Structure 1
Amino acid sequence: MFLAFGLVNILAAFALLRATLAWTEHRAYEQAEQHLRSTAVLMQRTYREDLDNEPSEALQQELIQLGKDSGYRLTLIDADGRVLADSSQPDLAAVLKMENHAERGEVSQAEYTNWGVAKRSSDTTGKPYVYVALRDAVDKGPSPTVRAAAMVDVIQEQIDYFRQRLWLLAMGVGAALLTVTYLVVSSIVRPVLQLNDAADAVSRGDYDQRAFVPNRDELGELASSFNHMCGELNSQFDELRRSGQRQATVLGGMVEGVIAIDSAQHVSLANKAAGNLLGFLPEKVEGRPLIEIIRNHTLHDALAEVQSNDQPQRLDIDLQGPEPRRLSVQITPLMGAESGGAVIVLHDITELRRLETIRQEFVANVSHELKTPLSSIKAYTETLLGGALHDEQHAMSFLGRIEEQADRLNALIQDLLSLARIESAEQTFDLAPVVVGEAVAACLSDYTPQADARGIRLLAESDEPQAEVVADPEGLRVILNNLVDNAIKYTPDGGSVTVGWKVVEEDYVRLSVTDTGIGIPKDQLPRVFERFHRVDKARSRELGGTGLGLSIVKHLTQSFGGSVAVESKIDHGTSFYVTLPKS
């Protein structure tokens, strides 16, 4: 913009300068003519009498001196056109050799108008002059004439001198004009550019940008309004950012997975929980079709129905994979949204369903475990009441079986109560350092008669017999008794049961109970610590097991800050591991 203004000013100044130079040149010649006229009048008054006389050297020398003083070429011409004197000639002899001047343009013109003016080259000197001739008569016709002439070169030198000064002045004025133009244009353009730069910055998201315009005119008011708008935008976007952060925090902290979709079932938002449930990164699924993330046609059919009738739906879906999951899904339409989108809330109920299944199995197992001894007791009682009571031999046998089933029922109830107390943390433990070797020796001593009866060897192996663990002494005894009892029950006659222990990871002691029994199928290993789970149910009941021993072992160990594990191979035996904190 400044260049345009500057160019316009320069062109205007150039045109003005040309006009000034032309006027100056015209004025210079006009002034020269005026001076020549004045000189001619003065000559006429001075030499009127001499114009009628003959040429003389005295007149010639006088005119030469006058010409030097005036700076002009002066000429006296008689009525016939003969030159009487000429300041450009050195003496009278030269004057007498001059041509007749009656036909000179300025002289012949003066015969008719008294004044004659011409600009031409002198036939005598060959130099260009401006001539002014004045006739010494009122009537027309031949009369003496005085002539004054100025050299064009002299006039041109004056014009050139003035032109140089004018150019210098013009350049100075031009520079000043450019400076003033720059300052004026800058004062107008700079605020506009500042506003433009500020608007560009705001368009790029820099809402802290401000336009500084000191003027109090319309532009200043515009800048003030712009700054106010930026402040309002900044406040609003700050609130939006805070709201977005709060929303992200809420969504990120939710256990439920949340997925928002548009009318085309493309993902517009997903939280971290949804990514964890479905195995994707939330920031990488925005804009992708939902079918690429959840390949479940039941869900997509339900979603399509929600989008068509704007009614929420709830359903459960099963996801296949290395770890199958069941999800509870709530689909809610975005009411009032023209896009027809919806929000999907996913809740992982896999564990809930597993616990429900365990509860159902637990109730069924408890019912079954209680029903069996109660049914036996009822049957034997009915037999006795039916008449066997009077048969002493049969009566004693039936009473013995009733006692056996009652003991089994009591053991089951005691194990259930013990497990319930452990799980509910109602039972308190006196945690203290316990020497593992001593606890193992006491356990093996208790089970030696049972093992010897079947030819089973009980062994204790350890390189650190004095190792200590932090546990409740009675609880550790229960753990060892359950593991050793199970090992003996499921080990064929003539086999062996080995109890070992060693320090692991510096801060823990790992106990192991290894038998040479029948082993556990691989698919059963993950469930061996569940309540009432039996690998061989018939054999377990035959051996008098309640199905709760390993579950008690697991919960006691966890109460002591430890962990359990199992390894087994069919027909080669099983190893149970209990890891407890080292004292």
Structure 2
Amino acid sequence: MNWLLPRLTAGVLAMLAGGCAGFLVSNVEHTVVWRVLAGGAIGVALAALLDTARGYRLIEWLRGSQEQQAPRDAGFWGELGYRVERSIRLREQGLEQERLRLEQFLSAIEASPNGVMILDAGQQIVWCNGVAADHFGLDPQRDRRQRVTNLVRSPAFVAYLQQARFGAEPVSFANPRGDGTLSVLLRSYGEGMTLVLSQDVTDRERHEAMRRDFVANVSHEIRTPLTVLSGFIETMGNLPLTEVERKRVLELMAQQTGRMQTLVSDLLTLAQLEGSPRPAADRWVPLAPLLAQVESDAKALSGGNHTIEFAAANGIEIAGSHAELLSAVHNLVGNAVRYTPEGGRITVGWQQQADGSGELSVTDTGLGIAREHLPRLTERFYRVDGSRSRDTGGTGLGLSIVKHVVQRHGAELQVDSEPGKGSRFRIVFPAARVRTLG
């Protein structure tokens, strides 16, 4: 009722003012009462006209966009306009805050490494982030409001979605683009809404396969010499052997024991390389004495059956770990000796490049490697010819060790080979890791 008193007061004042005006302008023959009533009627009409004009201005403002300020009139209509405008502004502020929160939320989902897609009750796409669009081959804008099963037709995905097994384990299927494997999980929320979460598990599956292969290969590599040793032990315990036979058996047992020791040593080396920090870039290793040590071991391994040449590397130093660099070069030269027939040549060279980088190369005239095997040479236990590698005493881990050492020193391993013409392995060190002393 607070709004009524000002209106009554305004009306009474208008009536009195009108009455006075009517009294002044009336004819002499009219009585005072009629003069007052006539003036009051005129005042009421003026007040009503003014009130109507204020209400009309407010209605016109409400019909518009409300971007401008509400009419600032006195009385009821002015107060009403102020209240309405304030309510509208508060609502606009609330909507703007909600819009900003929604944008931040969607931006966070967009930055997720996983795919997120929202489906309505009819399995139509409401929204998806860029990762989900990439996973399913969709267009985030064009494909909205499209039924997802019309666009993603993988049988495993369609069956999973139709069964609506929201609490089940994720389903995996080939990426619709045909270049990997997707894992998809469904979650329900709201009124019939479905959240589709996708993840590219190609690398995970590849690593898991590599882990299984690694365990299988290690088990196989260890089982073979253990089986041989077990057989020899049983032979020595059950059969009478001559001194020559006994020495032969012990010699073979020593070979198998050495093979297992080498395998375990290489496995420990790999584990250390993978679990330790990169070698410091401020510890300089002289290359000449390192190559001299490798040359001595290579000639002992060759037994004079090959021509082995090492280039001079006086004054050359490489930043890194002496033990790791020695292991890498030793593996490369050892492989060259093992896979080069008698009378072949092994050459170890060093070349300083114009940009300050350096190239250490190991070249042989051995059997060579077919092109299809080159990309997989550094995989653990990968052998071009398994039987030949075991005959030469290789563990199948040497080039994997070389790859890790090269990567840890910021270098690059390059391989050139051709069957029947030999191979060339090159380690290219960056300029920051090479220096030449005067």
TM-score bucket of the superposed structures, by smaller chain = 0.7 to 0.9
Go from structure 1 to structure 2 and tell me whether the alpha carbon gap of 1:428 and 1:275 turns closer, same or farther (over 3 Å shift).
same
Q: Which has the higher contact order (CA 8 A, sep 6+)?
A: 2
Q: Does the CA contact (< 8 Å) of 1:457 and 1:494 recur in 2? A: no
Aligned-pair identity in percent equals 30
Unaligned runs of at least 5 residues, structure 1: 1-182, 200-208
Two-structure CA RMSD over aligned residues (Å): 3.2
Matches within 5 A, 1:4-403: 191-199=58-66, 209-278=67-136, 282-291=140-149, 294-306=152-164, 314-319=170-175, 324-334=179-189, 336-337=190-191, 340-389=192-241, 391-403=242-254
Q: Deviations over 1:511-553 (max 9, x none)?
A: 3333333333444333322222212111111100111111111
Unaligned runs of at least 5 residues, structure 2: 1-49
Q: Deviations over 1:218-259 (max 9, x none)?
A: 543443233223222222222222321331233123222111
Give the whole-Å Cα distance in 1 for the aligned partners of 2:55 and 2:281. Answer: 89
Go from structure 1 to structure 2 and tell me whether the alpha carbon gap of 1:184 and 1:227 turns closer, same or farther (over 3 Å shift).
closer
1:304 counterpart SS class: helix
Match of 1:539 in 2: 388
Give the whole-Å Cα distance in 2 for the aligned partners of 1:506 and 1:223. Answer: 78
Go from structure 1 to structure 2 and tell me whether the alpha carbon gap of 1:456 and 1:329 turns closer, same or farther (over 3 Å shift).
farther
Match of 2:17 in 1: none
Give the whole-Å Cα distance in 1 for the aligned partners of 2:352 and 2:110. Answer: 42
Go from structure 1 to structure 2 and tell me whether the alpha carbon gap of 1:508 and 1:383 turns closer, same or farther (over 3 Å shift).
same
Question: Any runs of at least 4 consecutive aligned residues in structure 1 with deviations exceeding 6 A, and if so which?
Answer: 183-188, 426-430
Query: How far 1:379 sits from its partner (Å)?
Result: 1.0
Give the whole-Å Cα distance in 1 for the aligned partners of 2:364 and 2:133. Answer: 45
Which amino acid is the alignment partner of residue 110 of structure 2?
G
Residue of 426, 450, 453 corresponding to 2:304: 453
Q: Deviations over 1:254-299 (max 9, x none)?
A: 2221111234433222223324444556455433443565441210
Q: Does the CA contact (< 8 Å) of 2:377 and 2:383 recur in 1? A: yes
Q: Deviations over 1:111-148 (max 9, x none)?
A: xxxxxxxxxxxxxxxxxxxxxxxxxxxxxxxxxxxxxx
Give the whole-Å Cα distance in 2 for the aligned partners of 1:510 and 1:415. Answer: 25
Which amino acid is the alignment partner of residue 245 of structure 1?
E
Give the whole-Å Cα distance in 2 for the aligned partners of 1:577 and 1:524. Answer: 17
1:569 matched to 2:424? The reply is no
1:407 matched to 2:248? The reply is no
Go from structure 1 to structure 2 and tell me whether the alpha carbon gap of 1:319 and 1:380 turns closer, same or farther (over 3 Å shift).
same
Give the whole-Å Cα distance in 2 for the aligned partners of 1:240 and 1:532. Answer: 58
Q: Does the CA contact (< 8 Å) of 2:412 and 2:429 recur in 1? A: yes
Which amino acid is the alignment partner of residue 447 of structure 1?
A
How many residue pairs align between the two structures? 383
Give the whole-Å Cα distance in 2 for the aligned partners of 1:526 and 1:320. Answer: 27
Matches within 5 A, 1:397-476: 397-425=248-276, 432-436=283-287, 438-451=289-302, 453-458=304-309, 460=311, 466-476=315-325
Give the whole-Å Cα distance in 2 for the aligned partners of 1:187 and 1:276. Answer: 59
Q: Deviations over 1:398-448 (max 9, x none)?
A: 011111111111111111112112212189779622344553354234313
TM-score for both structures, normalised by structure 1: 0.59
Q: Deviations over 1:331-384 (max 9, x none)?
A: 1233x42xx332111122222222221111111111111111111111111111
Q: Does the CA contact (< 8 Å) of 2:166 and 2:186 recur in 1? A: no
Go from structure 1 to structure 2 and tell me whether the alpha carbon gap of 1:427 and 1:187 turns closer, same or farther (over 3 Å shift).
closer
Which amino acid is the alignment partner of residue 65 of structure 2?
A
Bigger Rg, structure 1 or 2: 1
Residue of 470, 478, 481 corresponding to 2:327: 478
1:564 counterpart SS class: strand
Give the whole-Å Cα distance in 2 for the aligned partners of 1:219 and 1:507. Answer: 85
Go from structure 1 to structure 2 and tell me whether the alpha carbon gap of 1:312 and 1:364 turns closer, same or farther (over 3 Å shift).
closer
